Amino acid sequence: MELRDAQDKVMVALDCRSDQALALATALEGHARWMKVGITLIYDEGPAFVMALKRRGYKVFLDAKFHDIPFQVERAVKSASFSGADLITVHGAGSAQMLRACRRGADEAADVMGKRPLLAAITVLTSMNEEELARVGVTRPIAEQALALARLAHDSGIDGVVCSPQEAASMRSLLGPDALVVTPGVRPRGAARGDQSRVATPAEAVRAGASHIVVGRPITCADDPLAAFDAIVGELVDDVA
């Protein structure tokens, strides 16, 4: 894999406060292409933080995980689109009606901006195992649940999914070569799992079919975040055709 292609596959999860996030964005300039803004930063800083990252030249994955009644999510996605986010997440479990409303909101923003963000549906959180899934009333296996939600999202106009690396191959088979398949739960060899249950290395995730991998703490908590980022990119360059 070429260097720039590998850099474009790694989304750095800025799951921290704004001062640390900006320091990380500064440290990774010229290397990282994508920054993921999670709910901590969304509630701390709002759309202004996305705009700040866009001014620095980053593509922004706004991990808002919208999940509400269709009336609310249509307007929420439209509003979030005006921040300049390139990718926004919604919950696949919110129903076909909700997912179609999310797409309408993105399209309405495009009528004003000339383009819309991509949308990805959350399938099953990577922190969950089958025991946890059963405790919220879903008794079919994780793989089946994730595929069912992916199919629903695809049929509702959503561009792709967020899933664990374990489901990446089946998602790629289901959704085709051009769909987004974004995989959190990625840990370099030897890194701690933290609160993630379903994990893989960066190269394993991409070989399985991930279009992008999300990496947070192994980069953001490293003594040298840039060296940690470059090591992950190096693994992709060396190990992925």
**Which residue in the list 44, 68, 107, 239 is annotated as catalytic?**
68
**Which residue in the list 63, 86, 159, 230 is annotated as catalytic?**
63
- On whether 59 is known to bind a ligand per the annotation, the reply is no
**Which residue in the list 44, 54, 59, 65 is annotated as catalytic?**
65
- On whether 82 is known to bind a ligand per the annotation, the reply is no
- On whether 224 is known to bind a ligand per the annotation, the reply is no
116, 84 contact by CB (below 8 A): no
Name, in order, each residue with C-beta under 8 angstroms of 126's C-beta and a sequence gap of 6 or more: 164, 183, 184, 185, 196, 197, 198, 199
60, 87 contact by CB (below 8 A): yes
Is 115 annotated as catalytic? no
Is 65 annotated as catalytic? yes
| Side-chain-side CA neighbours of residue 29 (13 Å) | 11
- On whether 63 is known to bind a ligand per the annotation, the reply is yes
- DSSP 8-state code for residue 114: S
- On whether 70 is known to bind a ligand per the annotation, the reply is yes
- On whether 187 is known to bind a ligand per the annotation, the reply is yes
- On whether 21 is known to bind a ligand per the annotation, the reply is no
Q: Which two tokens stand for residue 186?
A: 């990625």
Measured CA angle at 67 (ends 85, 15), to 5 deg: 50
Is 8 annotated as catalytic? no
Q: Coil, helix or strand for 12? A: strand
- On whether 212 is known to bind a ligand per the annotation, the reply is no
- On whether 17 is known to bind a ligand per the annotation, the reply is no
Question: Which residue positions form the known binding site for substrate?
Answer: 15, 36, 63-72, 126, 187, 196, 216-217
List residues with catalytic annotation: 63, 65, 68
